Amino acid sequence: MKKCMDADNLHRRLKKIIGQVNAIDRMIDEDVPCEDILAQINAAKSALNKAGQVVLEGHINHCIKDAVERGDSEEIANFTKAIERFANMQ
């Protein structure tokens, strides 16, 4: 397991997101108004973004910090990819 991630926090968040997605699926079958479904989709998207933020913060606080201390320029350069992927989630 990656030591840079707060795995317990992420697992809790993902279980909540799975519950939200399952609820959205049920809402569709129950003919819930579209605006209510969209509100739940937005909530799930926000929760996924927050999970991504937790991963990125762990990456910065551990992996990148360690890379800077070691002078690992390749890992630091790869950090750009992580930032780009996180930015694309928005």
Q: Which domains does the chain have, with CATH numbers?
A: 7-89 (1.20.58.1000)
Integer Cα distance of 20 and 5 in angstroms: 23
Q: What is the pLDDT along the chain (90 residues), one digit of tens a residue?
A: 457 788 899 999 999 999 999 999 999 999 999 999 999 999 999 999 999 999 999 989 888 888 889 998 888 888 888 898 888 887
pLDDT at position 48, please?
Answer: 96
pTM of the model: 0.81
Integer Cα distance of 51 and 75 in angstroms: 22
Nearest to 63 by CA among 8, 5, 9, 10: 5
pLDDT at position 2, please?
Answer: 59
